[in-house]
């Protein structure tokens, strides 16, 4: 029996084997051999995207106003409904209307399915005008191509905006704050103003003298300059002149000479056609590129904002605090709700350290040159005057000013760049004023004493294959050829000089010798450059309230570099502000103060928000005895009969010290420099001042810069210059023949 069972079992196995293999023509049961192999089964695994990371990326892009990235994260269905332009505008308009300067967000919850997700987050808009606006937002998402995409809904901005509702801000804008000088005299204020010009074909010949005289007094022009403009233009031209208030123009308006054109307008008015215009600045309409930035700060976009100088630096103070009411409005214009509001706060006023009278005369003194004047208190760093020429009339930036159309175009196209503040941004070689630095380095090196002598002749031959000449070489011949006066003592070499006398006579060979000597001494090669940097050159002064340049001081690499550096040439670049600052430090005993031009920020009520305080930044690296030696030498420059500044300071009733400079400009005539300070605090009761003057491409410092320095000293003590006429003519008078700057009057044909 048992063997029979095994036989049956074997037969069953054979049968099954035949069926599985498909043998003997039977069809396969378990996938036997076929003509085409079956594919291998593969498991498909879909990565699970992180929905929280997607929302975080979306909101971080919003913080950067990166609407394009946000739009790319929407579902295809959402992008089919809203364009990138409309999506961006909806978000941008809402943020602007809210005055949302910033916002914060927190992910609170998420529910995730295979194809859909919902993420809840909390967002807080930090708005300027409506306070904090906090909302909880629920965002639906869909998995497209293994990425979570956002289903766009306007309620994602604010739930109140569902259904096409809009945000509207009702603004309350305070009047812009005023700018005053140190004594409270207005420099800038809101005022009714008049624009004045001349219509040349309407001039009354009998009143022409009154026309040019009165306009000259109002506009700060020489009457002969105005007459020249009339003559150069011919009949039928309109010549824009200047602007004035009713009080300023009272006499001119009462006379009303023929040819005078007057148009009134309301304006932010800059008195005296602009006092220190490069420093004070001007206002502009908000540009399209800046509109979003200002809307987020609470502006409605129609305001004028600071475009340069103090107007720009003090924008937060001068603009005041805007107020507003933020409302939700239906597509039909109905108010649905109020989300927040704030009250406006009056603007603050800015008081400058500038003295109105000093500033006006500084601008007049340099008006018909290119250059700059800086006047600074030696013991505080206060800027008393800061003039840059050519200057400009900030009133021309107001589109309401009838002189705007012509005057602004000429200003912006002026190749002399009047908008540049040459006092702080102009960077020039310093010429012989730099010898103060070289003098100091020589003393501190221990290799030179005040009585160390040098034979100052025409030629300097210490450099191989090169001969250099002192300024006395052919000096008088050149002056006589130009029709100018020359002291006979300036036509011969200075001879044997002490170190102090070398500075007094500004002997080039002596200072070339010092530069070459220190450079050739293995451990003294950078002494002069290091001394210059210690005097504050080659770095920002830190004035902060207005833009400035750093200048440049480079370590010498060769003997030629060293001798050029020693007389302030080569790669030396300085600003007049830097020069006034280190002259003030010499005068006050060695302290370098931070220059400042803002005295106080004064609100309508209460204590000042900001008050000027002198801030010492460093000390000149001179031993007291060497500083005294330097100061003695600077007095010799102005008082000794052989001093280079003596001639144009004769008869000045106040003691001064300083240094002349004539710097090769690299193009055209040299720059004229003078930098000095007063020595009369005890006699007058007024603080001593330091003054730096540069006149570009004009000639020698003793001829051009010294007279302007003198005019500033006399104005400081007397109220006005006492000797306005010099060898080059009258300070403030144009040394050229003007060309027409008006436009032809319109005719019936055009």
Q: What is the pLDDT of residues 149-161, one digit of tens each?
A: 999 999 999 999 9
Helix pair 435-445, 624-639: axis angle to 10 deg: 140
- Note the pLDDT of residue 736: 41
- Note the pLDDT of residue 235: 81
Confidence check: pLDDT of 92 > 60: yes
Q: Within a domain: residue 187?
A: yes
Stretch among 242-256, 318-332, 367-381, 571-585 having the lowest mean pLDDT: 242-256
Among 436, 377, 452, residue whose Cα is nearest residue 634 = 436
CB atoms within 10 A of CB 409: 11
Please enumerate, as own/partner, the contacts of 138-147 that have beta carbons within 8 Å and a separation of 24 or more.
139/55, 140/116, 141/51, 141/54, 141/55, 141/116, 141/117, 142/75, 142/115, 142/116, 142/117, 143/49, 143/114, 143/115, 143/116, 143/117, 144/75, 144/76, 146/46, 146/47, 146/49, 147/49, 147/54
Q: Which of 288, 318, 351 is the last residue of a domain?
A: 351
Domain span at residue 86 reads 51-164
- Note the pLDDT of residue 743: 52
- Note the pLDDT of residue 632: 98
- Note the pLDDT of residue 34: 45
Query: Same domain, yes or no, for 122 and 188?
Result: no
- Note the pLDDT of residue 68: 97
Query: Which CATH number is 260's domain given?
Result: 3.90.1310
| Distance between CA atoms of residues 154 and 460, nearest Å | 81
pLDDT band at 87 (very low <50, low <70, confident <90, very high): very high
- The mean pLDDT value for 418-424 works out to 97
Which tokens is 437 given?
């630095």
Query: Same domain, yes or no, for 537 and 440?
Result: yes
Q: What is the pLDDT of residues 118-137, one digit of tens each?
A: 999 999 999 999 999 999 99
| Distance between CA atoms of residues 120 and 471, nearest Å | 81
User: Do the strands 459-460 and 116-127 form a parallel or antiparallel pair, or are they unpaired?
Assistant: unpaired
| Distance between CA atoms of residues 526 and 538, nearest Å | 14
- Note the pLDDT of residue 362: 96
| Distance between CA atoms of residues 381 and 689, nearest Å | 9
| Residue 34 DSSP one-character state | -
Query: Same domain, yes or no, for 462 and 516?
Result: yes
Q: Looking at the 3D structure of the chain, how many domains does it have?
A: 3
Count, in order, helices (H) and strands (E) of the chain.
24, 30
Instruction: Give φ, ψ of 579 to 5 degrees.
Output: -70, -45
Report the DSSP beta bridge partners of residue 342: 324
Confidence check: pLDDT of 415 > 80: yes
Which tokens is 58 given?
């979306």
Q: Within a domain: residue 129?
A: yes
User: Do the strands 100-112 and 323-329 form a parallel or antiparallel pair, or are they unpaired?
Assistant: unpaired
Q: What is the pLDDT of residues 339-359, one digit of tens each?
A: 999 999 999 999 999 999 999
Residues 6+ apart with CB under 8 A from 244: 193, 194, 196, 218, 219, 252
Q: 181-218 in b/e burial notation, b at 16+ Cβ within 10 A?
A: bbeeebbbbebebbbbbbbbeebeeebbebbbbbbbeb
Query: Same domain, yes or no, for 471 and 569?
Result: yes
Q: Within a domain: residue 170?
A: no
**Which secondary-structure segment (H or E) carries 402?**
none
**Which secondary-structure segment (H or E) carries 257?**
none
Rounded percentage of the chain residues whose pLDDT exceeds 70: 88
Q: Which of 103, 129, 164 is the last residue of a domain?
A: 164
Q: Within a domain: residue 130?
A: yes
Q: What is the residue whose two structure tokens read 């200003």?
A: 411
Q: Within a domain: residue 559?
A: yes
Which tokens is 616 given?
């010492």
Query: Same domain, yes or no, for 440 and 344?
Result: no
Query: Same domain, yes or no, for 196 and 146?
Result: no
Query: Same domain, yes or no, for 156 and 185?
Result: no
Is the four-CA dihedral 426, 430, 431, 433 of positive or negative sign?
A: positive
Query: Same domain, yes or no, for 306 and 257?
Result: yes
- Do 241 and 196 form a contact (C-beta atoms < 8 A)? yes
CA angle 171, 177, 179 (to 5 degrees): 160
Q: What is the pLDDT of residues 208-217, one digit of tens each?
A: 899 999 998 8
Query: Same domain, yes or no, for 243 and 345?
Result: yes
- Note the pLDDT of residue 340: 95
Which tokens is 499 given?
């170190």
Confidence check: pLDDT of 746 > 50: no
Q: Which residue has the higher pLDDT, 709 or 35?
A: 709
- Note the pLDDT of residue 472: 87
pLDDT band at 106 (very low <50, low <70, confident <90, very high): very high
Measure CA 692 to chain center. 21
| Distance between CA atoms of residues 111 and 172, nearest Å | 44
Q: Within a domain: residue 714?
A: no
- Do 575 and 551 form a contact (C-beta atoms < 8 A)? yes
Name the maximum alpha-carbon separation found in the chain: 157
| Distance between CA atoms of residues 126 and 170, nearest Å | 18
- 226 by DSSP, 3-state: which? helix
- The mean pLDDT value for 305-324 works out to 96
Burial class (CB in 10 A: 0-12, 13-18, 19+), 416: exposed
Residues 6+ apart with CB under 8 A from 371: 388, 389, 422, 671, 672, 693, 694, 695, 696, 698
Which residue intervals of 220-338 are DSSP H helices? 223-233, 250-255, 277-280, 291-296, 309-313, 315-318
Query: Which CATH number is 546's domain given?
Result: 3.40.710.10
- Do 494 and 507 form a contact (C-beta atoms < 8 A)? yes
Which tokens is 315 given?
């924008």
Q: Which of 164, 188, 210 is the last residue of a domain?
A: 164
Query: Same domain, yes or no, for 229 and 156?
Result: no
Q: Within a domain: residue 703?
A: no
Q: Which residue has the higher pLDDT, 411 or 23?
A: 411
Query: Which CATH number is 154's domain given?
Result: 3.10.450.100
User: Do the strands 132-144 and 147-150 form a parallel or antiparallel pair, or are they unpaired?
Assistant: antiparallel
Q: What is the residue whose two structure tokens read 């003691």?
A: 655
Query: Same domain, yes or no, for 567 and 523?
Result: yes
Stretch among 54-63, 426-435, 562-571, 678-687 having the lowest mean pLDDT: 678-687
- The pTM of the full predicted model, rounded to 2 decimals, is 0.85
- Do 20 and 29 form a contact (C-beta atoms < 8 A)? yes
| Distance between CA atoms of residues 279 and 423, nearest Å | 9
Half-sphere exposure of 601 (CA within 13 A, CB side): 16
| Distance between CA atoms of residues 649 and 635, nearest Å | 12
Q: What is the DSSP string of 581-639?
A: HHHHHHHHTSEEEPPB-EEEEE-SSSS-SEE----EEEE-S--HHHHHHHHHHHHHHHH
Among 440, 551, 457, residue whose Cα is nearest residue 510 = 457
- Do 280 and 394 form a contact (C-beta atoms < 8 A)? yes
| Distance between CA atoms of residues 238 and 262, nearest Å | 12
Residues 6+ apart with CB under 8 A from 5: none
- Note the pLDDT of residue 328: 96
Q: State the average pLDDT for the chain.
A: 89
Q: Which residue has the higher pLDDT, 16 or 648?
A: 648
Residues 6+ apart with CB under 8 A from 573: 427, 428, 429, 549, 551, 552
Q: Within a domain: residue 508?
A: yes
| Distance between CA atoms of residues 438 and 621, nearest Å | 13
Among 597, 713, 735, residue whose Cα is nearest residue 656 = 713
Confidence check: pLDDT of 6 > 90: no
Q: Compute and round to an integer the Cα radius of gyration of the chain.
A: 39
| Distance between CA atoms of residues 579 and 434, nearest Å | 9
Q: What is the pLDDT of residues 441-492, one digit of tens each?
A: 999 999 999 999 999 999 999 998 899 998 888 776 666 666 666 666 667 8
Which residue intervals of 482-575 are DSSP H helices? 499-505, 508-520, 527-534, 559-566
Which tokens is 537 given?
């050159």
pLDDT band at 742 (very low <50, low <70, confident <90, very high): low
- Note the pLDDT of residue 668: 84
| Distance between CA atoms of residues 235 and 94, nearest Å | 56
Query: Same domain, yes or no, for 138 and 190?
Result: no
């Amino acid at each position: 029996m048992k063997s029979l069972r095994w036989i049956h079992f074997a037969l069953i196995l054979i049968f099954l084997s035949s069926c599985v293999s498909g043998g003997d023509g039977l069809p396969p049961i378990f996938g036997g051999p076929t003509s085409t192999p079956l594919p291998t089964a593969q498991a498909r695994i879909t990565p699970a995207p992180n929905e929280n990371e997607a929302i975080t990326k979306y909101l971080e892009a919003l913080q950067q106003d990166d609407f394009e990235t946000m739009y790319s994260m929407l579902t295809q269905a959402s992008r089919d409904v809203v364009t990138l332009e409309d999506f961006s505008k909806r978000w941008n308009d809402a943020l602007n209307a809210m005055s949302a300067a910033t916002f914060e967000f927190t992910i609170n919850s998420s529910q995730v399915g295979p194809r859909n997700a919902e993420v809840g987050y909390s967002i807080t808009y930090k708005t300027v005008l409506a306070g904090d606006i906090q909302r909880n937002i629920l965002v639906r998402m869909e998995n497209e191509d293994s990425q979570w995409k956002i289903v766009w809904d306007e309620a994602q901005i604010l739930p109140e905006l569902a259904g096409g509702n809009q945000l509207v801000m009702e603004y309350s804008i305070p009047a812009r704050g005023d700018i005053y000088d140190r004594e409270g005299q207005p420099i800038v204020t809101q005022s009714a103003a008049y624009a004045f010009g001349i219509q040349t074909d309407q001039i009354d010949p009998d009143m022409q003298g009154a026309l040019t005289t009165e306009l000259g007094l109002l506009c700060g022009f020489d009457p002969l300059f105005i007459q020249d403009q009339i003559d150069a233009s011919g009949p039928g031209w309109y010549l824009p002149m200047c602007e004035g208030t009713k009080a300023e123009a009272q006499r001119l308006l009462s006379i009303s000479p023929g040819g005078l054109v007057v148009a009134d307008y309301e304006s932010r008015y800059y008195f005296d056609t602009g006092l220190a215009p490069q420093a004070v600045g001007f206002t502009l309409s908000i540009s399209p590129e800046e509109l979003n930035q200002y809307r987020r700060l609470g502006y409605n976009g129609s305001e004028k904002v600071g475009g340069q100088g103090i107007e720009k630096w003090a924008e937060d103070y001068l603009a005041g605090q805007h107020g507003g009411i933020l409302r939700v409005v239906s597509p039909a214009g109905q108010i649905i709700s109020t989300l927040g509001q704030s009250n406006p706060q009056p603007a603050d006023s800015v008081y400058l350290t500038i003295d109105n009278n000093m500033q006006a005369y500084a601008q007049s003194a340099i008006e018909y040159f290119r250059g700059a004047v800086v006047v600074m208190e030696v013991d505080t760093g206060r800027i008393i005057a800061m003039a840059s020429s050519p200057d400009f009339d900030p009133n021309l930036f107001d589109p309401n000013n009838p002189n705007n159309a012509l005057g602004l175009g000429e200003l912006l196209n002026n190749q002399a760049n009047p908008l540049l503040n040459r006092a702080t941004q102009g960077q020039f070689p310093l010429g012989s004023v730099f010898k103060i630095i070289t003098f100091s380095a020589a003393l501190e090196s221990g290799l030179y004493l005040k009585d160390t002598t040098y034979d100052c002749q025409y030629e300097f031959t210490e450099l191989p294959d090169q001969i250099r000449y002192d300024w006395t070489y052919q000096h008088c011949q050149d002056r006589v050829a130009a029709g100018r006066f020359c002291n006979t003592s300036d036509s011969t070499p200075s001879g044997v000089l002490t170190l102090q006398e070398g500075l007094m006579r500004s002997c080039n060979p002596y200072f070339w010798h010092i530069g070459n000597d220190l450079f050739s001494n293995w451990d003294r090669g950078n002494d002069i450059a290091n001394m210059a940097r210690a005097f504050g050159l080659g770095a920002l002064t830190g004035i902060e309230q207005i833009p400035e340049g750093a200048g440049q001081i480079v370590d010498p690499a060769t003997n030629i570099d060293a001798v050029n550096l020693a007389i302030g040439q080569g790669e030396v670049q300085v600003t007049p502000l830097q020069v006034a600052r280190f002259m003030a430090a010499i005068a006050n005993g060695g302290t370098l103060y931070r220059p400042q031009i803002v005295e106080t920020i004064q609100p309508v009520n209460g204590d000042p928000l900001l008050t000027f305080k002198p801030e010492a930044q460093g000390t000149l690296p001179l031993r007291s005895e060497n500083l005294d030696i330097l100061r003695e030498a600077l007095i010799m420059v102005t008082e000794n009969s052989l001093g280079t500044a003596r001639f144009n300071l004769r008869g000045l009733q106040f003691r001064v010290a300083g240094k002349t400079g004539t710097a090769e400009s690299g193009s055209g005539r040299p720059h004229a420099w003078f930098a000095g300070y007063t020595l009369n605090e005890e006699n007058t009761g007024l603080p001593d001042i330091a003054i730096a003057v540069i006149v570009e491409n004009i000639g020698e410092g003793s001829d051009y810069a010294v007279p302007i320095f003198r005019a500033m000293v006399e104005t400081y003590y007397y109220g006005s210059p006492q000797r306005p006429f010099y060898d080059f003519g009258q300070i403030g008078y144009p040394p050229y023949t003007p060309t027409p700057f008006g436009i032809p009057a319109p005719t019936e044909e055009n």
